[in-house]
Structure 1
Amino acid sequence: MNDDDGWRERQRRAVRAHAEADARQRAAEQARAAELVADFAVEATRRGLRPDRLVATSYDGRRRYRTPVTGWYVDRARTRAVDTEGRFYLLTVPSSLRSRLLGSRPAPSMPPLVVGAGGRDGESLPLATLLALRLAEGDNWR
């Protein structure tokens, strides 16, 4: 093995170690965010916040679709929500005739620890803060 081969192998190991550390960090952040969302659902129920039948919006914002999901919107745009089971939803979906007729069935998604991070508007907010604000406003938020 020459020096170039040894250097390449060290580089591969370093890249692999970095990727594994990054994956562990992402998994820990996702677990923490999921815990925050589940705690929010418990606390919203305890406080008597009335859950709504959630509505999804098309990506272009022109259409609204019924969903079978019941929960609480957590942002004013009504694009993020938590269901009564403590799962997080992004409520933007593709436009479709099927959804217009039968409604949309959004799937739960992994919540981010920072909502809006990397967005074009530059506005981001920690998930814990967003959920705390929503709880503080209670049913007056509607």
Structure 2
Amino acid sequence: MDDWRAQRERAVRAHAAAEERRRADEAAEAARLVVWFAAEADRRGLRRTRLTVQPHHGGGRYRSRLTGWYVDRARRRAVDARGNFYLLAVPPSLRARLFGADPQPQPAPLIVGQGGRDGESIPLRTLLTRRLDAGDDWP
């Protein structure tokens, strides 16, 4: 019985370690893609824009000090010139409405929208490539 329990615990630890390695590999690949996008956008001369932030609930947009490129049409995801990825949604607040909001960089997902309620997801590489191909003709 103790052998079985010890073997099971080893298997669970090995599985958890493998999952952690997979997540780290995915995060590193996504980070490389975002840095590539920023460099390629600069190389192609895509115009940077002042990014705005949306409240999680409710309407309106908040100013931010960030400049970069929106990478989705909803303007909820963006990349700055240093290759940082941002989710441009924050909790609603009077302070953000008055003084603006400055979200922190987030790890980029390899599959954008995965697990979302609408079921629409897209590989990060595809999303970034579409944005580059659209050039400055982006809404």
TM-score (norm 2): 0.97
Percent of residue pairs identical? 60
Q: Which residue of 2 aligns with 1:30?
A: 27
SS at match of 2:57: coil
Gapped runs of 5+ residues in structure 1?
none
Q: Which residue of 2 aligns with 1:100?
A: 97
**What are the Cα deviations for residues 86-123 of structure 1, in whole angstroms up to 9, with x where unaligned?**
10000010001111111101000000000011111111
SS at match of 1:35: helix
Is it true that 1:14 corresponds to 2:36 in the alignment?
Answer: no
TM-score (norm 1): 0.95
Residue type at the aligned position of 2:103: P
Gapped runs of 5+ residues in structure 2?
none
Residue type at the aligned position of 1:80: R
Q: Which runs of 4+ in 1 moved over 6 A?
A: none
Distance 1:61 1:84 in 2: 29
- 2:73 maps to which of 57, 72, 76: 76
SS at match of 1:141: coil
Q: How does 1:1-142 map to 2 (within 5 A)?
A: 4-142=1-139
Aligned residues: 139
Q: Is the 8 A contact 1:37 1:82 kept in 2?
A: yes
Q: Is the 8 A contact 1:63 1:95 kept in 2?
A: no
SS at match of 1:81: strand
User: More strand by proportion, 1 or 2?
Assistant: 1
Deviation at residue 61 of structure 1 after TM alignment = 4.0
Aligned Cα root-mean-square deviation (Å): 0.8
